[in-house]
Amino acid sequence: AQTVTQSQPEMSVQEAETVTLSCTYDTSESNYYLFWYKQPPSRQMILVIRQEAYKQQNATENRFSVNFQKAAKSFSLKISDSQLGDTAMYFCAFMKPESMDSNYQLIWGAGTKLIIKP
C-alpha cells in the first residue's frame, strides 16, 4: 500500500525567507501523481501545485516549486519570498495511476504546519 510521510510537524520562518517542506512516499508504481495542498486557518483545502511522475521537469507555480526526486521517492515543496498569507498547514498527497479497480483516492501525509513570522 502507498504511504506518504511528512517528517516536519511544524516549521517557522521569517517573512521573505525561503522554506522547503519535505515529503517522501512509498509506492511500487512507476507512474503516479503528487500534489501539495494548503490549508489556511479558514480550513479550506487549496491546491498549491501538482506533479506527474512521468514528467522529469519540476513543477512551478509562481513562488512555489517542487523538487521531485523519483528514485529517492521524494517530493519537497519550496516556497520562495514567503509571505504572511503562506501561514497554513501543508499536505502532501499521492494518487496512483489508472487501474482496473478504479479506486482513485488521495493518500495524504500528516501535514506540516508552516508559520511565517513578520
Contact 53, 34 (CB under 8 A): yes
- Residue 85 backbone dihedrals phi, psi, to 5 degrees: -70, -10
User: Rule CB under 8 A: is residue 111 a binding residue for other proteins?
Assistant: yes
- Residue 63 backbone dihedrals phi, psi, to 5 degrees: -80, -5
Nearer to other proteins, 111 or 116 (CB): 111
96/104 Cα distance (integer angstroms): 7
Q: Segment 13-72, which members bind other proteins (CB under 8 A)?
A: 32-33, 35, 37, 42-47, 50, 52
Q: Segment 78-97, which members bind other proteins (CB under 8 A)?
A: 89, 91, 95-97
**Where on the chain is the footprint of other proteins (CB under 8 A)?**
32-33, 35, 37, 42-47, 50, 52, 89, 91, 95-98, 101-106, 108-111
